[in-house]
A and B are shown apart, each in its own frame.
Chain A
C-alpha cells in the first residue's frame, strides 16, 4: 500500500480529505490525527510567513481576521518557490477580491505597501547618488538621466496610503483624512521607509525609470499634474537616497 507524494499533498491542503491509507501510527494503526501535524505545520508556517510579510494589513484587520484570510490564501495560492521572502506577491490582489473585506477599500493598497517594503528590504545594494553630482549648469542637469536605486519603490493610491501607514506606525500621527496619496519607498541603509510623494511625483519617477531625461520626465509629470513641483520632488528623492550613483 503505497502513498504517492501527489496523494499526500492533496490530503495535506484539504482537511476534508481522508488521511491516506498506508500512513500509520506506532502500532500499525491508521495515522489519524498524526497527519494533522503536517497539515497544521503547512498552514501555520505559511500563515506566519504572511503575517510577518504584511504587518500593516494584519494590524488593520487584527490577528483573527488576518489568519482567516491568510488560511484561504495559503490553501489556494501555495508558494511556488522555496524563497519565502518573496511569498505573497499575489496577496494584495487576493485581498482586493476578498468579499468579506470589501468594506475596507484601502486594504489592498496597504498590502501593496507591505509588499513593496519587503521587496525593498531584499533588493540589491547600490551606492546612492550624491547631491553634488547634480551641481552643474541647468541645461546639463535637465539632460541627465537619473536611475532609481534597486531598493526604490513608488506606489500610487486613490487612498491616503502614506497617512494610513504613518497612523499605524508613528506615535501621535494624525488620523488619515480622505484623499489620494502616492508613496515613495527608499532604503538609505538597510531599513526601507515610506515617504509622501508630492503630486506628479509618481509619474516623474515612472518616466525616469523608463530612462527619460530630467527634462523629459518633468514634461511628462507636468502634463498630467500641472502643479508638479520639480524642486520639492527632486529634493525629497536626493535626501532619501532614491537614486543610484551614475
Chain B
C-alpha cells in the first residue's frame, strides 16, 4: 500500500487533468494550477512496468482520482466479480482520493463493448443500478461517485427524468455524483432540453467532482444538431459558461479537464486547466 491516504484524503477544489503518459515529465515539473489527476482504472490493472511506476510517482505529488470505465454498473447481468476484485486491489494499493464510475453499461455476457452505453430510466433499472452501486461501495469500503452520461438518444420506456433518477440513486445508496457539464450540454442539445434547467434540478450537494471536456458537432437524419462526446478538442465556450453557472450555485468543486483523443502537447492541456482555475475563482477558490 502507498502512503498517500493521509495527505490526499479528498480531491482539492481546484483544477485537475485526465492523465496521459506522454505528459508525465512536464506534468511533474510544470503542473501550473493542476493539483490532482484522474486515471482510468483499467489502464492500471497490468502486473507492472511503466504504467504502475508512473502512477506511484504521480501519487506522491498529486491527489489521484480513479475513474472506472469497465465496471458496467448499468449492466443487466451481475457485476464482474473478477473485475471488482481487480478494482479493490488497485484502490487498496493506491489509496486514491476518489473513485468514480458511469451510469452506463458496457458488458454483455462475456463481451466487453468498450463504450458507455445508455440505459432506460425505469424502476427496474433503478433497482438494479442501486444494487450494483451498493455492491461496489461495500466491496471497496468507500463511497463512490456516479457520472451522468452523454446521450444521443432516449428510451420510450423511461419513466424517470435523469436528474430524478440520479437523485433517487443518491438517496438509496449514499453514493456521490460526478457531474459532467459537457455531458449535460451534449445531452440537452441532443434531446432538446435546457442545460440550465438540468443543472437546476441536479442534486448539487451530492457532487464530489465536475468534468469538462471537448465535443464534436454533427447532425442527425433530420438535420437536428447532434453533439458527440469526443474528448478530442478544447472545451467549448457554452460548456465553460455552464460550468460557471454550476459553480455559482454549488460552490467550489474539483474540476477535471478531460482530453482523451488527439491528445495535445502539455501546454495546451495546461492552458485548459488554467481556464478551469479561472472559472473556480468566483466560486471561492
Contact = CB atoms under 8 A, between A and B. Distances in A.
Interface string B136-172: 0000000000000000111111000000000000000
Nearest to B112: A79
Contacts of A125: 48-49, 52-53
A32 interface: yes
Contacts of B224: 25-26
A122 B190 contact: no
Given A1-B157, A34-B153, A150 B47 contact: yes
Contacts of A29: 222
Interface size class of A (residues with CB under 8 A): 35 or more
A22 to B, nearest CB: 5
Contacts of B157: 1-3, 22
A1 B117 CA distance: 18
B48 A34 contact: no
B153 A35 contact: yes
B153 A46 contact: no
Does more than half of chain A's interface fall in helix, strand or loop, or is it mixed?
loop
B175 interface: no
Contacts of B72: 82
B221 interface: yes
A124 interface: yes
B123 to A, nearest CB: 12
A80 B115 contact: no
A87 B156 CA distance: 35
Contact of B43 (A85, A151, A190): A85
Contact of B50 (A6, A28, A46, A121): A121
Interface of B: 42-43, 45-53, 69-72, 75-76, 80, 83, 86, 105-108, 110-115, 117-118, 120, 152-157, 190-192, 220-222, 224, 226, 228
5 contacts: A9-B111, A22-B157, A38-B115, A80-B110, A123-B46
